Amino acid sequence: MFQDIVVDAPTTEGIKYAGSKLKLLPYILQLVRKVKPHTVLDGFSGTTRVSQALAQTGHRVIANDLSVWSEIFGKCYLLNTHSPEHYQPLVDHLNALPGRDGWFTEHYGGEPNGGCSVSDDGLKKPWQKHNTRRLDAIREEIDRLPVADIERAVLLSSLVLALDEVESTLGHFASYLNDWSPRSYNKLHLQVPQLIPHTEKHSVHRGDIFDVLPQAEADLAYFDPPYGSNNEKMPPSRVRYAAYYHLWTTICLNDRPSVFGKAKRRVDTSDTVACSPFEEFRRGDSGHFLAVEAIARLLREVRVQHIILSYSSGGRATAEELNQVISSVGRVVEVLEIDYRKNVMAGMRWTNEWISEAETPNREFLFLIQKS
Ligand X SMILES: C[S@@+](CC[C@H](N)C(=O)[O-])C[C@H]1O[C@@H](n2cnc3c(N)ncnc32)[C@H](O)[C@@H]1O
Q: Using the rule CB under 6 A, is 157 a contact of ligand X?
A: no
For Cα atoms 8, 12, 17, give the angle at the middle one, nearest 5 degrees. Answer: 115
Go through the chain and tell me how many residues it has: 372
Nearest-approach distance from CB 101 to ligand X, in angstroms: 31
Among 27, 49, 63, 326, binds ligand X (CB under 6 A): 49
Task: Report yes or no: 43 and 211 within 8 Å, Cβ to Cβ.
Answer: no
Calculated CA dihedral for residues 347, 350, 356, 362, nearest 10 degrees = 40
Q: How far apart are CA 166 and CA 177, in angstroms?
A: 13
Residue 44 binding ligand X, by CB under 6 A? yes
30 or 47: CB nearest ligand X: 47
Q: Which residues contact 275 (CB under 8 A, 6 or more apart)?
A: 236, 237, 240, 242
Least separation in angstroms between residue 194's CB and ligand X is: 16
Number of residues that bind ligand X (CB under 6 A): 22
Q: Which is nearer to ligand X, 68 or 263 (CB)?
A: 68
Q: Minimal distance in Å, beta carbon 31 to ligand X?
A: 14
Q: Which is nearer to ligand X, 94 or 174 (CB)?
A: 174
Residue 47 in the binding site for ligand X (CB under 6 A): yes
Residue from 9, 13, 21, 192 in contact with ligand X (CB under 6 A): 21
Helix (H) or strand (E) holding 353: helix 353-357
| Residue 289 burial by Cβ neighbours in a 10 Å radius (0-12, 13-18, 19+) | buried
Select from 38, 40, 43, 9 the least CA-distant residue to 26.
9
Q: Smallest gap, in angstroms, from Cβ of residue 94 to ligand X?
A: 25
Indicate the DSSP class of residue 169.
Answer: B
- Among 74, 110, 126, 226, which residue sits at the site for ligand X (rule: CB under 6 A)? 226
* Part of the chain binding ligand X (CB under 6 A), chosen from 15-23, 147-155, 280-288, 350-358: 15-23
| Nearest distance from C-beta of residue 285 to ligand X, angstroms | 20
CB 361 within 8 A of CB 315: no
Task: Please list every residue from 196 through 225 that binds ligand X, using CB under 6 A.
Answer: 208-209, 224-225
In the bound state with ligand X, the residue whose beta carbon lies nearer, of 51 and 184, is 51
Strands 330-339, 363-371: pairing is antiparallel
Q: Which of residues 250-309 bind ligand X (CB under 6 A)?
A: 276, 278
**Rounded distance between C-alpha atoms, residue 107 and residue 35, angstroms:** 48
Q: What is the largest CA-CA distance in the chain?
A: 62
Closer residue to ligand X (CB): 19 or 171: 19
Residues lying near ligand X in the complex (CB under 6 A): 17, 19-21, 44, 46-47, 49-50, 64-67, 70, 208-209, 224-226, 241, 276, 278
